[in-house]
Amino acid sequence: MRVNVVSNESEVKHPAWEYPETMRPAAVALAVALLVILDGCAGVTCTPVVIVVAEKDERPRLQSEPRGLRTDELGRVTEQRREVIVSEYWVRDPDERWYRVAASAWQGVEPGQSLRVCR
């Protein structure tokens, strides 16, 4: 009995770490994506500023909340939601700019007092 072993080395896929040149485009793409994401977050950062409260306002808003899952007559899973009224708390400065604040901050301040807010 004779056995010939023929290598199919050209068809074997090697792990990516053995070929760093194949990882370079992926690494560059990842670096660019991270820069774009991190640069996009710069606009969301908070710049704290102290204002004098000229007016307070509590604004009700309708919000849809998930309540659970259920199966309909056809066997499809659907999300059950319910509508609830939630309050948003806002304060206005003398320059007519409105700022949304936490309920505790809104309750603890009166017109004419100073308050630290994010701009």
Instruction: Name the token pair of 91.
Output: 């304060």
pTM over 0.95: no
To the nearest whole number, what is the mean pLDDT of the chain?
Answer: 82
Residue 24 to residues 10, 13, 21, 65, Cα–Cα distance (Å): 22, 18, 5, 44
Is residue 19 one of the residues assigned to a domain? yes
Is residue 32 one of the residues assigned to a domain? yes
The confidence score (pLDDT) of residue 6 equals: 63
Say if residue 34 is in the same domain as residue 63: no
Say if residue 76 is in the same domain as residue 98: yes
Residue ranges in the chain modelled with pLDDT below 70 = 1-29, 31-44
